[in-house]
Amino acid sequence: MVESAILVEILLRGASAGWLVLFACKVLRWRFPFRVQELAALFAIGTAAYVIVSGPVLHGLGPRVTFALGSVSLLNSAFFWWFSIALFDDAFAWRWWHFVPPALLLVVFGPFSEGLLSQNLDNFLHQSLIILMMLHAIWLAILHRDDDLVDKRRLFRLIFAWLVGFTGIVIALGEIYLGNQLAPGWLTLLHASAIFTITSAFLMWLLPSISMFQTSQFRSRSRSSSDGELLMLESRLEQLMNNGFYRTEGLKISELADKMNCPEHKLRHLINAKLGFRNFSAYLNECRISEAKKWLSDPDRSSEQITQIAYGLGYGSLSPFNRAFKAETGLTPKTFRTKALREREA
């Protein structure tokens, strides 16, 4: 009976790992710096390693394979965190602090850190770090969901947050509770069954939707659409934006839909599929930054403070204006103004 349960667990873990490797192969684009596609593959490979490491399969694989799988599995919570940040932030760029958690995982909790901390403290701190990364990923998934214009990605945010994030937190809490005790056989079998069920359902839904991981913006503005209603909506939207409605502070897509007297999902579709924006804030920023460049280049407005310009364009403070402007032009508003006014004088 016990051997049968172990065999079932091995099969479940092997199938889960196979699903994950298949997904990784599907999205793999190895290049640096890693972005959403590569990080999705990295997270899938790390999860496959964790699935094997946490079960009875590992004991017969030899020390080198065990060490390699253990190291990849150890870093998987950081892979998950990286993937979350890159997926839910279209302006994602690597920062030094992105490498702090994986460095801690390797240095403090890795295979070469034996004796550095007591086993109980080591386990508690390790799982606490994982929980913090999971909570941050859940927060990112939920934070700007309304701003997201990609329907499948909006749904994915909820599934990702509640299923993957909270599953990781439950597993980490279980690791803290068990400490250094071996989990009973029924629990590891339940663990393998849950992973197989979640992985199978998740990836069967996700594999046809890989396009959501693309980071490049589709920016076709063709008017060849045969949908007359869509063209009419686009015309009304352009008219509203030309009249400066984008300057409304804190403008949300629901408010814009109300102003246009159209269903919100149709406006999302228009701005995403027709105009090519993945986030509503990106669309607003293009309207605002385009106007900002005109204002900053105008000699008659040269005495106007940049903060006033930011507020006048609908930004709640100077910082988001500076970030959006630099992301669009590569220059700060101050530098852009100085350069533009000098060129006008010349």
The pLDDT profile of the chain, 346 residues, written as one tens digit per residue, is 557 777 888 888 888 998 899 888 888 766 666 788 888 889 999 999 998 888 776 666 677 888 888 889 999 999 999 988 888 877 788 899 999 999 999 888 876 666 566 777 888 888 999 999 999 988 988 888 888 888 778 888 887 777 778 888 888 888 787 766 666 767 777 878 888 887 877 777 666 666 666 554 444 444 444 467 788 888 999 999 999 999 999 899 999 999 999 999 889 989 988 888 888 999 999 999 999 999 999 998 888 999 999 999 999 999 999 999 998 899 999 999 999 998 887 6
pLDDT, residue 227, reads: 67
Asked, as a colleague might, if the bond just before 299 is cis with ω within 30 of 0, I would say no
pLDDT, residue 31, reads: 66
Task: Report the C-alpha gap between 162 and 138 in whole angstroms.
Answer: 8
pLDDT, residue 214, reads: 59
Instruction: Domain ranges for the chain, please list them.
Output: 2-213, 228-345
Task: Report the C-alpha gap between 242 and 291 in whole angstroms.
Answer: 10
Q: CATH assignment of 228-345, given 1.10.10.60, 3.40.50.2300, 3.30.1130.10, 2.60.120.700?
A: 1.10.10.60
pLDDT, residue 183, reads: 67
pLDDT, residue 152, reads: 78
Query: Which residues, in sequence order, are CB contacts of 283 under 8 Å at separation 6+?
Result: 149, 271, 275, 277
Residues paired with residue 148 on neighbouring β-strands, in sequence order: 279
Task: Report the C-alpha gap between 208 and 325 in whole angstroms.
Answer: 35
Q: Half-sphere exposure of 66 toward its Cβ, with a 13 Å CA cutoff?
A: 11
Burial of 153 (0-12, 13-18, 19+ CB in 10 A): buried
